[in-house]
Each structure stands twice: as structure tokens, then as C-alpha cells.
A and B are shown apart, each in its own frame.
Chain A
């Protein structure tokens, strides 16, 4: 273990503000089960088992990009992706404007936009469409990132912070927009897809990050650590098929959390001269009940340490990359954090991999 931190904490960027938004169309879990039940019955015999799978994820309901009744008409990848581009652009603009307003900034103050998603594709990318709609400067730098999946909320914070260490006077936006409902393959009646249709919801979040030399308040991103787990490509991801993105989901996810996250977190904290006892705020991606239980047991967290993650999971489901940023927003908005407090933002995603971000108030 290195005796000194690998990252110089001096030019740490700050997390100035977070914006977040959910699409207007809400469906309770029971409404979604009722809507999917007839479809399941075309292949499956024991529908009660499938309903239990949907209820076991402990999600109360989801916000959807479109009204529930419009989904059956989405038959092709083009139809799904066209809807994705339209709604993702609108939702991204909403959260970007909200976050900038909270930070007291305008689009002209932004030097770099990082846009992460795994639920749709667009070229020009959504961030480019926002330049036109919102009036960013014509020298704004853009980094659209596709494919990191659920880890992209934490990884996006880390990459934007890396950038701001090199350009400490600048301001970056991280926008995470995920419309998981538009990836649902109705004709895929596999169990992983049925579980995914019970767990994942739609939403977007935007974080304003400012370099160390910008005049900014908010907790500082002191360091980050990426962890890649070799030979785990089939644990999570997409099989890209003619109709869009078909989910790959293995029950090994909670197992990987239990096996690795403790050693990963301890090693990361040790680089900064810290232990788990020094961390007051845990901001965990809302992967699902078993993932959150895995975090709690592996990290020996106090009861209630992940309360915000549990609450978010129950209210809106797993929003992929946006989820951890929703939990971050809740953490920042609560008055509980004191100057000097340490926090860890953590998420896992396809690769399989994890990203940890160390934050100090």
C-alpha cells in the first residue's frame, strides 16, 4: 500500500450543485405488473412467480418517459431510440438548467459538458443538442460517454474531477440521463429482462463541478478509484439486437459486491490515511435490494447509513447512472454534513467494475 496519497488533494474540485428530474408519467409497481401480466402469460405458466420477482425488488413505482399505454406501440429500435432522443434531450435540459441555477451560474460559465448514458444513442449527442437549446459558448468542450451503465454516475464525477484538476479555473457539468423504460424488449420474456423491467426506472441528474481556483462552495472531490473485475463481461450489460438493447443481468452482482467492495473501499481509503470509521456519509448506487444489503454487510455499515439509497430505490427504482447522483443530491441538501466530514460515493456497473469517489465537506 502506498504510504502517501496517489492523488494530490490540493487542487480538489468542488461539487457546487445537483439538479435532478423525473419524467411526468408515473406508474405504481402494481400498475406495471398489471400492464405486463398479459404479455408474460404468452410464454410463462406461473405468473405469480413473476409478480413476486417484481415485488421483491422493493420498488414502489417508476416514472416513465412516455405514458404507459404508448409502450406497446414501440416495436423497433428506431421508434424506441427516437423517443429516447426527444425525452432525454428535454430531461437533460431541465436538470442542467436547474443545477446551473442552484450554482448561480449560466450556460456561458460552463467550459466542459460530460454526458453519460447507457439507454439510448444519438449523434450529434444529447450534449450537442443542449449547446443549441441552452446557449453554451461555442468553445464548450463535450465528452459524451456511452456504455459505463450504472457506474457512470460515480465514474462521471471522477472523470470530470480529473479534468478540473488540470483546468482548476474551469467549470464542468456532469449530466446523467437514463430512460431505462425505453430499452424494455417486450418480446424478451427471459427472467433477467422481467427482473430488469421491475427494477429500472427513468430519470436524469446534473452535477455542477468547479475547479479548485473557481469561487465555489460545496464539498470537494479529494480523490477517486476505479476497480475492474477481470473476466466478468457477462455479469451485466446489453446484447445489442435488432430491436434495441437486450439486458444481460446475472445474480453475481451482489456476490461481487460482497466479495470485493470491502477490500476496494479499505484500500482506497487507506491511500488517503482514512478508514471506514472516518466516513460519515455513504452515497451508494441503488443497484437493488441485494446490492444495497451487500454494501451494508461487506462494509459493516451502521443501520440507516444507506437510508437515502433505500428510500430512492423504493420511490423511483434503479435509475442506472443517475441513481447515485439522486442520492448525492439528497445528501447535499440535508443540513447534516459538517465541515471536515468525509463521504464516499460508490457505484458498480458493466465491465464488471466499480468506482469510488472520496468527498470532503
Chain B
């Protein structure tokens, strides 16, 4: 799980730099709207990029609790964990 959070952070940084032309640093505590200045299009670009990289779907409902970069990375990790086959999870 922690590995996926780290990977998601790296992907968020890549998308911010390469696709959103954001030039500043991207830190876990940064607010997506206030600090990264993302608008509706920017948020969509970010969500689509993460969906493509991690093969998960992020819904409108998911977005309700997401405020910071860290929130988003953790959401992606949770969706990845939920999507994995449940092999060995039960006795």
C-alpha cells in the first residue's frame, strides 16, 4: 500500500509537470485547488492520468473526501488494493 502511495505521488508530480504545465514543487500536503491551482479541467487531467497509470476508476463520490495531494495518492492506493484479486485473504 505504501509503495503504491509513493508511486501515485510520483505520477501526480509527472502529470502536474508534463501535462498541466505546473512549474512549482508538488508536496503531499498541498491542496489541489489552492496550492496547485487546479481547475475542473486540471482535476480531470489528473484523474484520467492516474486512472490510466494504475488501471482504476475514480468516481465523483471518491472525490468528495479528497482535498490534498496525499488524499489523492491514498485514494489511488485504496482503489488499487480493492481491484487486486483477493488471493489468500481469507482462511
A255 to B40 CA separation, bound complex (whole angstroms):
11
Is B16 an interface residue, CB under 8 A from the partner?
Answer: no
Chain B residues near A48 (CB-CB < 8 A): 57
With both beta carbons as reference points, the residue of chain B lying nearest to A248 in the complex is identified as B21
CA separation between A333 and B39, bound complex, in Å? 39
Write out the residue numbers on chain A whose beta carbons fall within 8 Å of the beta carbon of B42. 251
Q: Would you call B73 an interface residue if the criterion is a C-beta within 8 Å of the partner chain's C-beta atoms?
A: no
Closest-by-CB residue of A relative to B41 is: A251
User: Which one of B39, B41, B51 contacts A44 once the chains associate, using CB atoms below 8 Å?
Assistant: B51
Cα-based distance from A359 to B67 in the complex (angstroms): 47
From known contacts A53-B44, A190-B19, infer whether A45 and B55 are also in contact, taking CB-CB under 8 Å.
yes
Inter-chain contact A251/B57, CB cutoff 8 Å: no
* A137 within 8 Å of B (CB atoms): no
Closest residue of B by beta carbon distance from A255: B39
B66 — which chain A residues lie within 8 A by C-beta? none
A249–B21 Cα gap in the complex (Å)?
12
Partner of B39, one of A49, A50, A251: A251
Query: Given A190-B19, A234-B21 in contact, is the A44-B40 Cβ separation under 8 Å?
Result: no
1/0 per residue, CB under 8 A from B, across A252-295: the answer is 10010000000000000000000000000000000000000000
B47 at the interface (CB under 8 A from A): yes
Q: When the two chains form their complex, are residues A250 and B52 in contact, meaning their CB atoms are under 8 A apart?
A: no
Residues A252 and B48 in contact, CB atoms below 8 Å apart: no
Q: Which residues of B contact A45 (CB under 8 A)?
A: 51-52, 55-57
Beta-carbon contact of A44 and B48 below 8 Å? yes
CB-CB contacts below 8 Å: A303-337 with B? none
Inside 8 A of B48's CB, which chain A residues have their CB? 44, 46, 49-50, 191
Say whether B41 contacts A249, CB under 8 Å: yes
The answer to the question of B4 belonging to the interface, with a C-beta cut-off of 8 Å to chain A, is no
Measured CB to CB, the residues of A under 8 A from B are 43-46, 48-50, 53, 190-192, 195, 234, 249-252, 255
